[in-house]
């Protein structure tokens, strides 16, 4: 087990386009865990589009020089006071939701994702673009056996938020699902929907993503309207101009769930074309811990294939740059640097 005294971390130094180099690599002392905290050695960290939004300034920074990354697979190095469920050597997963108040009406009614005082990994607290990080033991997950560190990392946001989006879009049994955008979360969600018996149609602009969608079992994959009316749809692409497009593709009574934390402006909607006949438009806001546990249980049964592109932690900036320029098919994952 590593006992380094210094951690290598990436921070958002000055938000801006990735080509302006907004990230900076630093060395900091490894922090000791406080009450309820775990000190983790980071074994893998998924690269999420939310990280890109933070680096480029689409998400206003919550704190200066924050370390991105919220799909963390780590090994427990030390546990702080009041931690009872984890011990050094355990492998755990840390996700986007990092803390809630536990007292508001949302927390008391099973909707902790809407807690006004919720905190998020890689936004409010430092995340996994690092060799070491601190997490709250009350918000981490035990990971299914049989997944490598790299395979497990994307499950912790791409998988969990896709699961919640699938719940929010009210897909009926055997229904027709449209997926707009086909990156990290979408390629996992599609496999979950297919395992549930859905027909999946994918709309995405890149040939590589269309090929992957068909390989995974989608009924169609193109850059235009799906070939049949949809019962449900999920918008993963952060493109507001696709909202009316997806709504118009819905059948009567269909639901569109918008899965991203950031979306460009939505054009004017035409009531008759986009919302009439009881079409529904919903957003997706983070996830609850119960969502995470339920998804990981289902993923252990479905075993969705994770299409990986690996980057060493020393090239985290390149991973985000490639994501910004649509050069990643599937999901990118940061892994420890190989020593000399």
pLDDT at 90: 97
In terms of CATH, what superfamily is 160-283? NAD(P)-binding Rossmann-like Domain (3.40.50.720)
pLDDT at 224: 87
The closest of 48, 43, 182, 185 to 122, measured between CA atoms, is: 48
State the SS3 of 287-314.
CCHHHHHHHHHHHHHHCCCCCEEEEEHH
Phi-psi region at 303: left, alpha or beta (left = phi > 0; alpha = psi -120 to 50): left
Cα separation, 101 vs 114, whole angstroms = 11
Cα separation, 217 vs 198, whole angstroms = 10
Domain coordinates in residue numbering, the chain: 6-154+307-335, 160-283
Overall fold of domain 6-154+307-335: Quinone Oxidoreductase; Chain A, domain 1 (3.90.180)
Is residue 37 within 8 Å of residue 135, measured between CB atoms?
A: yes
Buried b (16+ CB within 10 A) or exposed e, 245-273: bbbbbbeeebbbbbbbbebeeeeeeeeee
pLDDT at 339: 60
Tokens of 153: 């990392």
Helix 184-195 / helix 158-168 crossing angle, nearest 10 deg: 50
Residue 299 main-chain phi, psi, to 5 deg = -65, -35
pLDDT in tens, the chain (340 residues): 455 689 999 999 999 999 999 999 999 999 999 999 999 999 999 999 999 999 999 999 899 999 999 999 999 999 999 999 999 999 999 999 999 999 999 999 999 999 999 999 999 999 999 999 999 999 999 998 899 999 999 999 999 999 999 999 999 999 999 999 999 999 999 999 999 999 999 999 999 999 999 999 999 999 989 999 999 999 999 999 999 999 999 999 999 999 999 999 999 999 999 999 999 999 999 999 999 999 999 999 999 999 999 999 999 999 999 999 999 999 999 999 976 5
The neighbouring-strand residues paired with 7 are 28
Total residues found in the chain within this entry = 340
Residue 23 main-chain phi, psi, to 5 deg = -90, 150
The closest of 91, 33, 98 to 289, measured between CA atoms, is: 98
Helix 158-168 / helix 289-302 crossing angle, nearest 10 deg: 100
Cα separation, 195 vs 302, whole angstroms = 7
Is residue 70 within 8 Å of residue 157, measured between CB atoms?
A: yes
Name the DSSP letter for residue 103: -
Cα separation, 244 vs 112, whole angstroms = 30
The neighbouring-strand residues paired with 47 are 332
Alpha carbon 239 to its chain's center: 17
pLDDT at 144: 87
In degrees, rounded to 5, the angle at the alpha carbon of residue 177 between the alpha carbons of residues 153 and 249 is 130
Q: Which residues contact 246 (CB under 8 A, 6 or more apart)?
A: 178, 180, 233, 235, 256
């Amino acid at each position: 087990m590593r006992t380094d005294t210094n951690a290598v971390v990436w921070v958002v130094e000055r938000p801006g386009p990735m080509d302006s180099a907004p990230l900076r690599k630093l060395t900091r002392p490894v922090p000791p865990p406080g009450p309820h905290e775990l000190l983790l050695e980071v074994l893998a960290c998924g690269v999420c589009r939310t990280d890109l939004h933070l680096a480029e300034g689409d998400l206003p920074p919550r704190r200066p020089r924050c370390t991105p990354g919220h799909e963390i697979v780590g090994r427990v190095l030390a546990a702080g006071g009041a931690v009872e469920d984890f011990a050094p050597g355990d492998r755990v997963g840390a996700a986007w939701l990092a803390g809630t108040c536990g007292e508001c009406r949302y927390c008391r009614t099973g909707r902790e994702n809407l807690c006004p005082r919720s905190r998020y990994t890689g936004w409010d607290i430092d995340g996994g673009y690092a060799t070491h990080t601190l997490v709250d033991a009350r918000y981490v997950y035990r990971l299914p056996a049989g997944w490598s560190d790299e395979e497990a990392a994307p499950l912790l946001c791409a998988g969990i938020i896709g699961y919640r989006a699938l719940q929010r879009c009210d897909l009926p049994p055997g229904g027709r699902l449209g997926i707009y955008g086909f990156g990290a979360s979408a390629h996992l969600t599609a496999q979950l929907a297919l395992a549930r018996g859905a027909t999946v149609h994918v709309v995405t602009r890149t040939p590589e993503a269309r090929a992957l969608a068909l390989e995974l079992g989608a009924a169609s994959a193109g850059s235009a309207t799906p070939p049949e009316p949809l019962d449900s749809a999920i918008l993963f692409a952060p493109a507001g101009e696709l909202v009316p497009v997806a709504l118009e593709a819905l059948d009567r009574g269909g639901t569109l769930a918008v899965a991203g934390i950031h979306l460009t402006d939505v054009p004017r909607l035409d009531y008759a074309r986009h919302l009439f006949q009881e079409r529904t438009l919903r957003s997706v806001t983070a996830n609850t811990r119960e969502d995470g546990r339920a998804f990981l249980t289902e993923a252990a049964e479905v075993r969705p294939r994770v299409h990986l592109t690996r980057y060493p932690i020393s090239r985290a900036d390149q991973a985000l740059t490639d994501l910004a320029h649509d050069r990643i098919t599937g999901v990118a994952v940061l892994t420890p640097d190989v020593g000399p």
